[in-house]
Each structure stands twice: as C-alpha cells, then as structure tokens.
Chains A and B, each alone.
Chain A
Amino acid sequence: MSLSSLFTIFISGMLINNIILSKFLGICPFMGVSTKLSSAVGMGLAVIFVIFGASVFSWFLYYYALVPLGLEYMKLICFILLIASFVQFVEMFVKKTSPSLYKSLGIYLPLITTNCAVLYVALDNITQKYTLVETIVNSIGVPAGFMLMLVIFATIRERLDSADVPEAFKGNPIALVVAAIMAIAFGAFAGLV
C-alpha cells in the first residue's frame, strides 16, 4: 500500500466519512461531552487513544487467534470484551498518573466502552480487510474526526448557551440542528479523493 492510499484512508476517516456527521456513530457521548471546550479536548484525546489501542489489539486478536481457530463468529463478543478491558485499564492508568484529568473526565471515561465508534472502528478494520498499517492509520484518522467535531461543537454550544433558543429546543435539539447544518458543510468533502 502506498503513502497516498494511506493518506486517503486517513482523510476519508477523518473528514469525508466523518464518524459523527456521516456515519452517525458516537453521538450519545458526543451530546453529553460537547458542552464545554475543556472537557471536549480531554475526551477527544482519550477517545483517540482508546480507539487506536483497542482497534490494533482487536486486529491482532482476530487474525492471530480467532481466524486460525475458525472462531470468526466470536468476533463481536471478543472485541467488546477487549474494549471493555482496555477502557478499564486506561481508567486505572489515568487515575494513578493524573487524578485531575480523571476527575474532569468523570463518568465519561468508563462510558467510552459503549461509544459506538470504538466498536465500529474495530469491526470496520476487519470488514475492509485492512493490513496492520492501514488499521493503524484508520484507527487514528476516525477518532481524530471525532475530536475535531467535539471541539467545534463545544465552541458552538458555549455560544448557543447565551443565545435566545426556543424553550423546546434548548439543549440537545438545537445541538442537533447545528449538526444538521454542519453535515451539509462536511458534505463538501465528498469528492475530495
């Protein structure tokens, strides 16, 4: 695989098929965390780390354990258990090394387990039959797009808080309207590669 095809995978994962605006994954935690910029940045970095680590480990698990044993149908169970364990491990690590970060992330750190995006990337690497290098690039590109969205939305939502929003739309509904407009904007990336 050439450098240009790796670049394509990265840009495709981050912008063209943006995980939030194009693939609709990772929205549950997205709604919750994108309210403040500081937590958005911290969450974004945590998600990049988790998706990267979990996907690479899943790749190895699939090709070196499940396939040789003919147990491909156990893929879902094994991947989600791996993700849960990995998040648990990251949680313990963050708690020990940086208690302030742990406190600021709060409940959202263990909730990364149920972030659809994590499982999706792990599964997608297998579906697309990516090699290890392609897996690594994809597993960084996609959460980079997630973090990009988190940061953009946090800044917008901070402004929305002081805007005059109709009662029924306050909070999540208006954020979704913003997402709708951004989806149009990001649609412009469609012909990029």
Chain B
Amino acid sequence: MSEKKQKRSFVSEMLYNNPVFGLYLGICSSLAITTTLNNAIGMGIAVIVVLVLSNIVVSLLAPITPDEIHIPVYIVIIASLVTIVGMLMQAFTPQLFSALGAFIDLIVVNCIILGRAEAYASKNNVLDSAKDGLMMGLSYTFSLIAMSFIRQLLGTGVLSMSNPMTNAEIFSLRLIPEGYEIGIFTQQTGAFLTFAILAAAVTAYKNANDKKEVAKQKAKEAQA
C-alpha cells in the first residue's frame, strides 16, 4: 500500500495546518485585534515568543512530569511567560500594549499554545519542539496579517505601520479614496465576515487539493 500522504509544498503545508483557518484555534484574538497591521504583527510576535519558549520548556520538563499534574504544570509555564511578555510590552511598547488590551493576558488561554504543548512538545525533543513552535507561530501571524490587511484596507482605506517602541510611522498608504472605505470592516460584523470568507477559501483550497491528490493517487495505482 503506497504512502497516502504526499509531500506538500511549504505554502500548502501552512494552509493545511493553519491553526486559525484550518483548525479553528486561537479564533478569539484573530477576530478581536486584527483591525490594524500593527496590532496583528505585535500580537503575532508575542505569540511566537510565548509559543517557542513554552514548547522548549515543556519539552524539557515533560519527561519528568507525571501525567496527573501535567496540565497545571503547563499552565504555570505558559502563564508565567505571558505575564513576562506582558510586562515587557507594557514597559517598552505602551501603545501596542493598550491597543491589544486584555488579549495579551488572554494569550494564556489561546488554544494554540496549550494545544501544541500537549500534542507536540511533550512528545518531542527540544529542537523539534522549538521549530514546531516557530512554524505554528508564523502560521498564526500570517493569518492575523491576512485578516488585518483586508480589514484595515477596506475599513479605513489606509495601510499603515508604525514602530511600536517609538510610535514613529514606518509607512502609510492611502489606497482607497477617503469617503469610499467600508467602515463595517473595522467593526464586529466585518471581523466575522472576513474570517468566514478566509476560512471558506482555505477549506475550498483543501477540498480542491484533496481531490487532486486522490485523483493523482488513483492514476498512480491505475498505472501500477
């Protein structure tokens, strides 16, 4: 029986295992804070840091952690990391901190982090866990950037970014003339809609790709 799983391209892999649009983890933050690119990147970096570090620590501690207490142990690790990241953000990037608000603290219950700790980091070595954390974190960040790109562009007509530490503007492009922007994209409704469309797009891609792979497989078997 030949291998069903085929090697997929990097981008394809990212879409299949996308934690946000593929697995529906970490939805809360991707809906709430994706109003600007700055927020998305800031949050993405915070999650990457926490995810990579927590994966490393969990991978180190997993061998010596008995099963019954593994959840509280992971929780303490993740919560400490989140608190530290939060404190550093409040001190050095105060504007980003107040923009992200309660969602920095809520990184603790971001299903992605505990999920990866449980599913991957506890069963693999440090290097692999760190890599996995980085990949998942990047995947999450790209999803956030995709959401904010659409929401900020359509909702305010301007694409902009500023340095979170000094508040200096890095760039600001007005792509939709003033008065023609669709304000609802900065609101709750726009968030749900953008997410739904992106999720549907990923699902459509997965379905089409699955069909292609099955067809390829059948063709291979027919030839053999």
Binding site for B on A (CB under 8 A): 21-28, 31, 73-74, 76-77, 80-81, 84-85, 113-116, 118-120, 123-124, 127, 166-174, 176-177, 179-181, 183-184, 187
B24 touches A172 (CB 8 A): yes
B196 touches A84 (CB 8 A): no
Q: Does B100 contact A (CB under 8 A)?
A: no
CB distance from B184 to the nearest CB of A (A): 8
Give the secondary structure class of B's interface: helix
Q: A25-B106, A27-B27, A27-B31 are in contact. Are A80 and B196 (CB under 8 A)?
A: no
Q: Which residue of A lies closest to B205 (CB)?
A: A168
A116 touches B28 (CB 8 A): yes
- Chain A residues positioned under 8 Å from B207 (CB to CB): 167-168
A120 touches B193 (CB 8 A): no
- Chain B residues positioned under 8 Å from A77 (CB to CB): 75-76, 79-80, 83
Q: Fill in one digit per residue for B18-42: 1 if any A CB lies within 8 Å of its CB, else 0.
A: 0000001111110110000000000
CA distance A166 to B201 in the complex (A): 11
Q: Which residue of A lies closest to B203 (CB)?
A: A168
B25 touches A28 (CB 8 A): yes
- Chain A residues positioned under 8 Å from B108 (CB to CB): 76, 80, 119
Q: A76-B79, A176-B192 are in contact. Are A31 and B105 (CB under 8 A)?
A: no
A176 touches B75 (CB 8 A): no
B106 touches A176 (CB 8 A): no
* B177-203 CB contacts (< 8 Å) to partner A: 187-193, 195-197, 199-201, 203
Q: Does B102 contact A (CB under 8 A)?
A: yes
A81 touches B72 (CB 8 A): yes
Binding site for A on B (CB under 8 A): 24-29, 31-32, 71-72, 75-76, 79-80, 82-83, 86-87, 102, 105-106, 108-109, 111, 114, 187-193, 195-197, 199-201, 203-204, 207
Q: Which residue of B lies closest to A170 (CB)?
A: B203
A73 touches B75 (CB 8 A): no
A179 touches B192 (CB 8 A): yes
CA distance A24 to B187 in the complex (A): 11
A180 touches B196 (CB 8 A): yes
CB distance from B106 to the nearest CB of A (A): 5
CA distance A168 to B109 in the complex (A): 28
| For the complex of A and B, 10 pairs with smallest distance between CB atoms | A180-B192, A168-B204, A176-B196, A183-B188, A24-B32, A173-B200, A77-B79, A24-B31, A168-B200, A183-B189
B105 touches A184 (CB 8 A): no
CA distance A145 to B211 in the complex (A): 41
Q: A28-B27, A84-B72 are in contact. Are A177 and B111 (CB under 8 A)?
A: no
CB distance from A87 to the nearest CB of B (A): 10
CA distance A76 to B72 in the complex (A): 13
- Chain A residues positioned under 8 Å from B193 (CB to CB): 176-177, 180
Q: Beyond the given A81-B79, A168-B200, could you list 8 further A-B residue pairs with CB under 8 A, ordered by the A residue number?
A: A26-B28, A28-B26, A80-B108, A84-B75, A114-B111, A172-B24, A173-B199, A176-B196
- Chain B residues positioned under 8 Å from A74 (CB to CB): 83
